[in-house]
Chain A
């Protein structure tokens, strides 16, 4: 067993080649490793939230065209492997835009579009799970459809969706490992780099990486379970 390989590269796994220079009081090097994976997942879920909210609400719309756009988007993305989407944005952005998009940005866009479709389904299910009376009563007090959605339905529905969002965040964190395929220097990529350089400790390296991912995801899953129990008490129910 050669755990020293893991030990010597552990800081690289955690935050890449980023170092703090105490003389100039600034950071040097590139952020990478686990920290970059978490950053990628966090930015991804942030973008996917807004995209998913729009897609979910469009899907609930009564206008055929609005609904059709959302359905097509959600179904296409959910039927395609994430790796395929990443390749789409990585290899085809230069053709469409004329300039190459950096790896980080292009995977981030792929993650947002991919996760947005799943968040859209969560939003749709969350709004549909709320008793109809909430909307009707809100409209009855004189609010417009938009106001009722924004002030009455969504605040309740979104709160009930928090556990699902956390679960989506967990699976996005796992999915950030795919960014390594096109060369974003996140945790999996640092692992393959160290593995290619040292050649003698693949078992130790990949176990360590798996445990690092596990810790992040498991903590988040535990939080989501507690939230689920906690939030179940406040849910408005239909009769």
Chain B
């Protein structure tokens, strides 16, 4: 193996700045997608709990379809295929914006929301049924009962699996490089093709991803140790 390591490529200068930019973009796209996915996932999970057939079917179809198709295909679909669904004027407006970023966010959001919805549903199931009955009996409406009684308890139970879904999202966000969003993986790949310093670039990017994962899994462990024990039914 004849290979001279040159770590200065990724530790200083222009290419270092590329990696830092990529890191921030990964965090940005992940944060936005996490917030949107939480909202959409909660909505889909609660729709499943209603007695309206159409809502239940929609929710079921949503989770099954988006969980069982690859994220990459979904990204391609939103990026290449979605403009057929939209009016011409909207398309023109969209192409002036950061369309790559937007379709990346939509794909990550929808894909993760399907998984989050299943986690939330599991959390809702873990809450004894009489909680809902009791809160309905006190005069709360269905939505109020979920908003004030069921969901706050359910979320507390499912925080660890939710966080690991967030972690999956951060790792999955590496796929948006395929449509040209300049995230961490994209930048590592770019440095590789500019300098042939693939080893250093990929090691640096991998190390950054690992740090994010370690921080997140430590958070889960601390939460499990200190908070989860207190919840009892």
Contact = CB atoms under 8 A, between A and B. Distances in A.
B72 A81 contact: no
B202 A209 contact: no
B202 A88 contact: yes
Interface stretch (A91-99, A102-110, A148-156): A91-99
Interface SS of chain A: helix
Interface residues of B, number: 39
A213 B73 contact: yes
A174 B174 contact: no
B72 A80 contact: no
B192 A91 contact: yes
A75 to B, nearest CB: 8
Contact of A209 (B68, B73, B212, B214): B73
Interface stretch (B79-87, B126-134, B139-147, B148-156): B79-87
B227 interface: no
Interface string A63-83: 000000000000110111111
Given A81-B185, A181-B178, A221-B68, A191 B202 contact: no
A218 B68 contact: yes
A177 B202 CA distance: 21
B136 interface: no
A78 B213 CA distance: 8
Contact of A202 (B3, B80, B205, B217): B80
Contact of B70 (A76, A78, A177, A195): A177
Contact of A188 (B64, B72, B177): B72
Contacts of B16: none
Contacts of B175: 81, 83, 178
Given A92-B198, A218-B64, A202 B206 contact: no
Kindly name the residue among B72, B205, B217 whose own CB sees the greatest number of chain A CB atoms within 10 A: B72
Contacts of A10: none
Q: Which 4 A-B pairs have the closest CB atoms?
A: A79-B213, A177-B70, A202-B80, A203-B81
5 contacts: A88-B206, A202-B84, A203-B77, A206-B76, A214-B65
Interface of B: 1, 3, 64-65, 68-74, 76-77, 80-82, 84-85, 171-172, 174-175, 177-178, 185, 188-189, 192, 198-199, 202, 205-206, 209-210, 212-214, 217
Given A87-B192, A180-B72, A202-B80, 20 more contacts: A78-B213, A79-B213, A79-B214, A80-B209, A81-B185, A84-B202, A84-B205, A87-B188, A95-B1, A170-B68, A203-B77, A203-B85, A204-B81, A207-B77, A209-B73, A210-B74, A213-B68, A213-B73, A214-B69, A218-B68
